[in-house]
Structure 1
């Protein structure tokens, strides 16, 4: 199963001027299809930073969604950075031009049409809101920063290109609440369970108020998680803590 990742690009997010709406929505869209997000990176409007990040993900087999920076204003760098990262030139995409002309007529020129300049070899991602397309190249999908446009575009990509990955593995998450738990005293148990069940994730989330406790659980293939939880519960009891099911 390939990993899914996202880039969220824009100084307005990092400065707090705008609140990010992409991360939670990307997680939800993937989860609805039996998929999960492996990583997410926030990037400022710094060309060298964007290009460097893209080069790293290009070197993997990850499926990557990028939000923001594909407009035509001087602070939109994503199209040029993508071209640099892939080692190709920027060229005007005739189908993207046709979409912009169909939407804006003469108003497509002289500036809106600049948003049809994509890395060489890119394919279009249709924009259902204003027909200004995003683009894709080698499992990297570039969309606008506007959530109302970007999120249906991401759904289109998932449903068109990756439906064969949907709901392949029944993934579940289960946990218990370790009462008066001390996280450091659960580390060895967590390592033991991870070594026994390497295909799942084991996690702990401590809480100090109003009462000290640790949420301890496992996430992954439902068949393995159920077995791992039996071991976690037994191990917690053996360490000397009491626990209750996490509702």
Structure 2
């Protein structure tokens, strides 16, 4: 079975303006990596309705064609600048309807104060299913392999975990590991041919090269592999042997 690609949509003008720093990508990786899964792509979008609808429309089409899984964070509140629910409905050409389970949750949490504004947060594209919110009982929703959650990371993380456990437990695979060395005063160009040969020899591993230049203009390269443990260890030994053969100064990275 082919593992679906996993995408993230992080929605909100406050992220684009840097008023808030994104935490959803890091949290998603924390949840996915132990399951042997990984993020394939990330989009950061503002609250502009036309752009949001356009991107959701493309994402729904892609998910339907390739069974991608998409986690969306932000813009599902009740204020005028929260437009994700409406844009999702428009992208799917579906009406917004009040979900009875979501209504019950919001009424249970807020009582009479649920009206007239908070109750709008129970309005989803027709056919959506709720995602329980363990923080304040205002649910998110799922539809067409897309899962919509609040922009607050402390709410979104347990909601994403619930989605993974509820809908995608069958996708769990053996977790991967990373092993890397740091080359001191290295140049990436000197390693290109070796890296090309390495990828032929170890096709199941992800080979990565991360160059850095510090404040004193000293160069380093973090050269490493990610994959299942047995293959990753074998690939790592190959990197070490090559560094030693070349007489490079290097150190192991944890």
> Structure 2 length as normaliser, TM-score?
0.88
Using the TM superposition, name which of 232-241 and 94-103 deviates more: 232-241
Question: Which one of the candidate residues 43, 57, 60 is aligned to 2:59?
Answer: 57
* Corresponding residue to 1:208 among 206, 213, 217: 213
SS class of match (1:121): coil
Give 1:19-38 correspondences, 5 Å limit.
Answer: 19-38=21-40
Alignment length, in residue pairs?
Answer: 246
The answer to which of 218-227 and 114-123 deviates more is 218-227
Residue of structure 2 equivalent to 1:155? 161
User: Superposition pairs for residues 175-194 of structure 1, below 5 Å?
Assistant: 175-194=180-199
> 1-side partners of 2:58 and 2:35: how far apart?
26
Aligned to 2:176: 171
In structure 2, relative to structure 1, the CA distance for the partners of 1:244 and 1:107 (3 Å cut) is closer
Contact 2:205 2:231 in 1 (8 A): yes
Q: In the alignment, which of 99, 102, 106 is matched to residue 100 of structure 1?
A: 106
Query: Does the 8 Å CA contact 2:33/2:175 hold for their aligned counterparts?
Result: no
The match for 2:136 is: 130
- For the 8 Å contact 1:189–1:232, the answer to whether it is kept is no
Q: CA deviation at 1:238?
A: 5.0
The CA RMSD measured in Å over matched residues stands at 1.9
Match among 22, 34, 44 for residue 42 of structure 1: 44
Shift of 1:127: 1.1
Maintained 8 Å contact 1:202/1:217: yes
Give the stretch that moved more between structures: 67-76 or 216-225. 216-225
Gaps of 5+ in 1: none
Task: State yes or no: 1:197 paired with 2:197.
Answer: no
- Equivalent-residue separation in structure 2 for 1:236 and 1:148 (angstroms): 43
- Partners of 1:98 and 1:215 lie apart in 2 by 52
1:75 to 1:244, Cα distance in 2 relative to 1, 3 A: same
| Superimposed CA distance per residue, residues 100-121 of structure 1 (whole angstroms, 9 cap, x where no aligned partner) | 1222222221111111110111
Q: 2:17 aligns with which of 15, 18, 39?
A: 15
Aligned ranges for residues 51-90 of structure 1 at < 5 Å?
Answer: 51-58=53-60, 59-60=62-63, 61-90=67-96
